[in-house]
């Protein structure tokens, strides 16, 4: 059988090759330390790679009857700018009708587009990476406030510590990553060993 959805190892190889996954000693804006760093936009700078990843994720959605039966009257929604290339790629592969993306404005997640109640088709929420799931949860609230139903949710990478379902819909991912995080420097193995740290942004 043709390999329709690349294995987790294959996807990790792509992320490593493009620099989207790095190993080292990183300090995040929230003060946590970690030996891993995902900078997903680095994978999405190559059109071919972006396409492979988005098409693979779309195949997981197409397997869901609740999604395939409603196409093309489906919205693909990104919680933030990082998910926009994923949303366009998934939309393309599924031939879904609508794309929306949200932004944080004054600390609140809002759609970039002006949207009226009832205009949004049943939704698939996609992102490049789900770390905590906060962005997804905020987007779910936004979607529901517009009277739309959530029929799918997924990301290229999901941290295993993040949520596994939303509104009764299982979260799809190409990689489930068991991230190692230390709350502060004194707990961090690399700090203890004196490894140079790199301050990164999300």
Is 190 a binding residue for Zn ion by CB under 5 A? The answer is yes
Is 115 a binding residue for Zn ion by CB under 5 A? The answer is no
Among 15, 33, 38, 102, binds Zn ion (CB under 5 A): 33
Residue nearest to Zn ion (CB): 188
What is the smallest separation between the CB atom of 132 and Zn ion, expressed in angstroms? 20
> What is the DSSP annotation of the chain?
----S--HHHHHHHHHHTTSEEEEEEE-TTS-EEEEEE-THHHHTSHHHHHHHHHHHHHHHHT-HHHHTTTTS-EEEESSGGGHHHHHHHHHHHT-SEEEEEEEETTEEEESS---TT-SPSEEEEEEEESSSHHHHHHHHHHHHTTPPEEEEEEEEEETTS-SEETTEEEEEEEEE----BSSGGG-HHHHTTPPPEE---
What is the smallest separation between the CB atom of 10 and Zn ion, expressed in angstroms? 30
Question: CA-CA-CA-CA torsion for 29, 31, 35, 36, nearest 10 degrees?
Answer: -30
Is 188 a binding residue for Zn ion by CB under 5 A? The answer is yes
Q: Pick the closer one to Zn ion by CB: 31 or 170.
A: 31
Contact segment (CB under 5 A) with Zn ion among 5-13, 60-68, 74-82, 188-196 equals 188-196
Burial label for 49, CB within 10 Å (0-12, 13-18, 19+), is middle
Contact segment (CB under 5 A) with Zn ion among 5-13, 26-34, 89-97, 164-172 equals 26-34
Q: Pick the closer one to Zn ion by CB: 5 or 179.
A: 179
Contact segment (CB under 5 A) with Zn ion among 40-48, 124-132, 154-162, 186-194 equals 186-194
What is the smallest separation between the CB atom of 180 and Zn ion, expressed in angstroms? 11
Among 5, 179, 181, 191, binds Zn ion (CB under 5 A): 191
What is the smallest separation between the CB atom of 201 and Zn ion, expressed in angstroms? 16
- Positions touching Zn ion (CB under 5 A) are 33, 188, 190-191
């Amino acid at each position: 059988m043709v390999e329709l959805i690349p294995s987790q190892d294959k996807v990790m190889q792509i992320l490593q090759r493009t620099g989207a996954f790095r190993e080292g000693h990183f300090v995040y804006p929230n003060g946590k330390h970690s030996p891993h760093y995902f900078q997903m936009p680095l994978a999405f700078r190559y059109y071919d790679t972006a396409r492979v990843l988005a098409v693979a994720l779309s195949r997981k959605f197409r397997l869901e009857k609740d999604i395939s039966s409603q196409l093309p009257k489906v919205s693909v929604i990104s919680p933030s700018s990082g998910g926009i290339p994923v949303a366009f790629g998934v939309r393309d592969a599924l031939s879904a009708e609508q794309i929306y993306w949200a932004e944080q404005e004054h600390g609140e997640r809002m759609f970039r587009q002006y949207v009226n109640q009832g205009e949004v088709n049943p939704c698939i929420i996609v992102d490049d990476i789900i770390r905590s799931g906060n962005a997804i949860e905020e987007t779910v609230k936004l979607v529901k406030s517009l009277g739309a139903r959530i029929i799918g949710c997924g990301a290229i990478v999901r941290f295993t510590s993040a949520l596994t379902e939303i509104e009764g819909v299982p979260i799809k991912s190409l990689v489930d990553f068991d991230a190692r995080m230390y709350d502060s420097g004194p707990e961090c193995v690399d700090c203890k060993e004196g490894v140079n740290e790199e301050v990164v942004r999300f």
